[in-house]
Amino acid sequence: MGIEIIISAVAITVSVATLTVLVYQTRALIRSIRANIYNQIVQQNLRLNEVLVSNSQIARILSNKIDLGSVSESDLSVAKTLASSFINHYENVYIQHKLTNLPETVWPGWETYMHNRILESPLMSEVWREMKPVMDKDFVAYVEKRERLRSS
């Protein structure tokens, strides 16, 4: 009878130790995944901005520094495609924020950056209106709330 108690106590101790290690490993894995997600977001943002840096005409179109009437159809098409890529990227950033995969300390900066891009550029705003029906409903509601706050 005494040996059974000892064996049970050892088994329980081993089980608790194993669970503790698993919890620690799971937390470390989650931290690693979140860091990787954030790194991918930053890398995607850099790739999108590289297009702007390498094409000043497209950058001027998206930043509202040029009359759209004077822009070639080709440049306008490229700018719209890039605008939709930025908006898709911002939707992903928002979703990752909601899933708590972004550090809380970086969210206010992303929030300002995204809204300045979407709401300040007439072309981005136009592309945003076209894309809204296929975007994540929470993201749409979020941007619309920001638009209302900005307008008031």
Residue ranges of the domains in the chain?
2-151
What H or E segment, with its residue span, contains residue 99? none
Residue 1: per-residue pLDDT: 64
pLDDT beneath 70, residues of the chain: 1
DSSP letter, residue 77:
H
Which positions ≥6 away from 37 have C-beta within 8 Å? 96, 101, 102
Residue 148: per-residue pLDDT: 84
Residue 127: per-residue pLDDT: 94
Residue 132: per-residue pLDDT: 95
Residue 97: per-residue pLDDT: 94
Residue 11: per-residue pLDDT: 83
DSSP letter, residue 55:
-
- Kindly report, residue by residue over 10-23, the tens digit of the pLDDT: 888 888 888 898 99
Token reading at 70: 């004077």
DSSP letter, residue 71:
S
CA–CA gap between residue 150 and residue 146 (Å, rounded): 6
